[in-house]
């Protein structure tokens, strides 16, 4: 990976033509016209996201059904500590990355939490737009935050694709032996799509990336840690809900679920996952209830975070 952000071996130099092409595409991608036409748009976007967060938080209430999972509600302190760490893992790893890139203080965690919840309960990548608007107003140490946010987002997709391909290779013998109702053509197209987008990212690496090589490697490594630690934490949470089932099986199921969630074009992913759970642990009803419990708790957490940051965001904007 060179200093222009190319994913090549350290020490190699990118050609001048490639650098010029990268600068040209960089100017095309960077949304400078939007900023020049309306320099105050970040100040309007923050309150808009706050209002949307409030609406989204209230809308999430429709999915909350504690009556079906009350019997499985854990009482151990360890479960709640692991759940909180699992929930805050994404914004925390984002902070680690932007701490390296921008020297972002810990107070920036508030904006990263809003980014995370916006993506989860509103619209994918809306959080990145909000974070860009926030950074334009609050991060004075950099001229334009767009390049760093763009690189972090692209590397998130690229590392996710690489992890998916790795999991497919490791799980291929097991998937082939199970009758999961997955069409071989659909599965092949899903793998081809993941590999194709990964190859496209690598072919356009000189044009897409703007951060120095050392920063790109750091961000990629943090993304990999986040992906695999998420599977580990999910398996641990399920094990704490149903401790009678070996943690090894839960970890395997968590990995398979992460694989299924990242493969496009696969229909009825939840049905496929329940089939896997039945094959490994033979207790599909309890597994379904455990999944429902974690989904309900996550929705509840989104509601609380969305409500808190929606209200405080509006109050802060009104006072300023």
- pLDDT value, residue 57: 58
Nearest one of 39, 2, 33 to 19, comparing CA atoms: 2
**Residue spans of the chain under pLDDT 70:** 1-72, 143, 172-184, 265-272, 274-275, 278-285, 313-314, 316-320
- pLDDT value, residue 279: 67
d(CA 203, CA 16): 16
Nearest one of 13, 108, 182 to 100, comparing CA atoms: 108
pLDDT in tens, 289-302: 777 788 778 888 88
Enumerate the H helices of 12-40 as residue ranges: 16-29, 32-37
In the numeric block, the tokens 């105050």 are attached to: 40
For residues 219 and 211, is the Cβ–Cβ distance under 8 A? yes
Collapsing DSSP to helix, strand or coil, 210 comes out as: coil
d(CA 60, CA 53): 10
d(CA 223, CA 229): 10
- pLDDT value, residue 127: 83
Which contacts (CB < 8 Å, 24+ apart) does range 189-197 have? 189/265, 190/263, 190/264, 190/265, 190/266, 191/165, 191/263, 193/264, 193/265, 194/161, 194/164, 194/165, 194/262, 194/263, 194/264, 195/161, 195/165, 197/157, 197/161
- pLDDT value, residue 38: 47
- pLDDT value, residue 34: 41
- pLDDT value, residue 267: 65
């Amino acid at each position: 990976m060179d200093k222009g952000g190319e994913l090549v071996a350290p020490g190699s130099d990118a050609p001048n033509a490639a650098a010029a092409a990268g600068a040209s595409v960089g100017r095309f991608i960077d949304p400078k016209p939007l900023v020049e036409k309306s320099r105050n748009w970040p100040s309007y976007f923050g309150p808009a996201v706050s209002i949307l967060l409030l609406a989204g938080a209230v809308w999430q209430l429709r999915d909350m059904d504690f009556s079906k999972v009350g019997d499985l509600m854990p009482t151990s302190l360890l479960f709640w500590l692991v759940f909180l760490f699992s929930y805050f893992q994404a914004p925390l790893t984002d902070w680690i990355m932007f701490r390296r890139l921008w020297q972002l203080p810990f107070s920036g965690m508030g904006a990263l939490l809003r980014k995370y919840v916006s993506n989860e309960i509103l619209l994918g990548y809306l959080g990145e737009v909000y974070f860009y608007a926030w950074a334009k107003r609050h991060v004075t140490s950099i001229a334009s935050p767009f390049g760093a946010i763009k690189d972090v987002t692209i590397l998130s997709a690229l590392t996710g694709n690489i992890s998916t391909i790795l999991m497919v290779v490791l799980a291929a013998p097991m998937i082939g032996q199970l009758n999961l109702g997955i069409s071989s053509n659909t599965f092949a197209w899903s793998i081809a799509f993941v590999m194709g987008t990964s190859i496209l990212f690598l072919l356009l690496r000189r044009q897409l990336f703007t951060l120095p090589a050392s920063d790109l490697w750091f961000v990629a490594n943090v993304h990999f840690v986040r992906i695999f630690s998420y599977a580990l934490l999910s398996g641990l949470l399920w094990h704490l809900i149903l401790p009678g089932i070996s943690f090894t099986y839960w970890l395997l199921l968590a990995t398979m679920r992460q694989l299924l969630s990242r493969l496009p074009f696969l229909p009825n992913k939840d049905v496929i996952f329940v089939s896997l759970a039945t094959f490994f642990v033979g207790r599909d009803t309890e597994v379904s209830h455990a999944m429902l419990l974690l989904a309900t708790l996550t929705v509840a957490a989104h509601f609380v975070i969305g409500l808190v940051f929606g209200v405080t965001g509006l109050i802060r904007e009104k006072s300023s």
